[in-house]
């Protein structure tokens, strides 16, 4: 199934293809799997942050003062527990001053619906940009729930980074929230009858944390 939408950016990069091969390979051990996740998350982070808002400033070099730019506003990195933790460090390396806001949302395997088990977003003072991170976008239920929580917090700009996405989940997300920009290393073929992504990579959380 092919999917295109103006808010969805699939990464085009030779290194993306290389690291995707490592993720998909069922023989890849957990330690190496985590390295592939980190490398792909770094590539996603670079692309997703390409056009974050900037503000002009002046800095003093060893030679003279010069015009420069710094990021404008507050950025929150929002991993969806638990698999999103595997992508967080890559984003923090590029955005070391970002705040990290965790959301615990899992999928009920019997219904494929999202179940919220942890969230500690403040009642006010929202970040200017929230970056949701989760390796997989399958049915879209967890991400839709996370976006609703962030919008309730009052975040004006939300971006989402994932390693692989199913067309069905992308359709749900872009239909409900066309203002959310999505960055994916791969858009896979489809979901199977159990709502797992094909060809996929298995359960990202289990493979990251070695909990088969």
Residue 150's Cβ-count burial label (10 Å; 0-12, 13-18, 19+) is: buried
Higher pLDDT, 192 or 106: 192
pLDDT tens per residue across span 155-168: 999 999 999 999 99
Residue 206 bears catalytic tag? yes
Cα angle value 206/209/212 (rounded, 5°): 35
pLDDT tens per residue across span 106-124: 877 777 678 889 988 998 9
Residue 9 bears catalytic tag? no
Question: Which residues pair with residue 115 across a beta bridge?
Answer: 106
Multiple choice CATH, 8-209, 3.40.50.2000, 3.90.79.10, 3.40.50.300, 3.40.50.2020: 3.40.50.2020
Which of 111, 152, 179, 211 is labelled catalytic? 111
SS3 10: strand
Residue 111 bears catalytic tag? yes
DSSP string, 173-206: HHHH-TTSEEEEEEE-SEE-TTS-EES--S-HHH
Shortest CA distance to 137 belongs to which of 191, 75, 207?
A: 191
Which of 24, 74, 107, 189 is labelled catalytic? 107
* Per-residue pLDDT at 176: 96
Cα separation, 30 vs 42, in Å, equals 18
DSSP code of 41? H
Shortest CA distance to 77 belongs to which of 90, 64, 63, 60?
A: 90
Percentage with pLDDT > 70 across the chain: 99
Residue 203 bears catalytic tag? yes
Name the residue ranges covered by the structural domains of the chain.
8-209
pTM score, whole prediction: 0.92
Mean pLDDT computed over 158-181: 96
């Amino acid at each position: 199934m092919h999917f295109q939408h103006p808010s969805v950016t699939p990464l085009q990069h030779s290194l993306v293809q290389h690291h995707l091969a490592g993720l998909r390979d069922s023989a890849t051990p957990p330690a190496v799997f985590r390295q592939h996740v980190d490398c792909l998350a770094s590539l996603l982070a670079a692309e997703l942050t390409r056009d974050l808002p900037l503000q002009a400033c002046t800095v003093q070099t060893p030679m003279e003062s010069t015009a420069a730019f710094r990021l404008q506003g507050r950025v929150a990195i929002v991993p969806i527990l638990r698999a999103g933790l595997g992508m967080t460090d890559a984003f923090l390396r590029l955005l070391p001053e970002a705040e990290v806001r965790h959301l615990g949302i899992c999928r009920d395997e019997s219904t494929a619906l999202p179940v919220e088990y942890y969230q500690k977003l403040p009642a006010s003072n929202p970040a200017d940009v929230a970056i949701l991170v989760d390796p997989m976008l399958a049915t879209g239920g967890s991400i839709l729930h996370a976006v609703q929580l962030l919008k309730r917090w009052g975040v004006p700009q939300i971006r989402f980074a994932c390693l692989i996405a199913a067309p069905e989940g992308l359709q749900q997300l872009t239909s409900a929230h066309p203002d959310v920009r999505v960055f994916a290393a791969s858009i896979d073929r489809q979901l199977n009858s159990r709502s797992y992504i094909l060809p996929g990579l298995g359960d990202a959380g289990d493979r990251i944390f070695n909990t088969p």
